[in-house]
Amino acid sequence: MKKDAKLVIILLCLVVLIVVVPLFALKGAEFGGSDDAGSVKVEEIQGEYEPWFTPVFETALNGEIPGEVESLLFCVQTGIGVGVIAFLMGRFVERKKHEKSNTIR
């Protein structure tokens, strides 16, 4: 168990490093989506390209989803996921504790 805890901490630090280093290494980079890079490449190969269908939400709004709202929606998505994982993980951890104290008694 102790060994696993150590491993998880080391891995977490690695993850943070990999994510944060580009931010500092490439100061001034735009960090846009690689989708956009994808559509640029499409135009490079194909010439002008007009997507033949727009996202339903954007059609309903008659325009793009405002940036802040988009980040809100992404947060909602993350929130749902983290909520489920944290809830279930909490139950598992408590269950193990319970089982342990029962066997000791």
Residue numbers at the binding site for other proteins (CB under 8 A) = 1, 4, 7-8, 11-12, 14-15, 18-19, 22-23, 25-26, 29-39, 41-42, 44-46, 49-59, 62-65, 70, 73-75, 77-78, 80-85, 88-89, 91-93, 95-96
Q: CB-wise, 30 or 68, nearer to other proteins?
A: 30
* Least distance CB 101 / other proteins (angstroms): 15
C-alpha dist (Å) from residue 98 to 2, 4, 7: 19, 21, 25
Could you give the CA distance from residue 11 to residue 30 in angstroms, rounded to a whole number? Answer: 27
Could you give the CA distance from residue 102 to residue 94 in angstroms, rounded to a whole number? Answer: 12
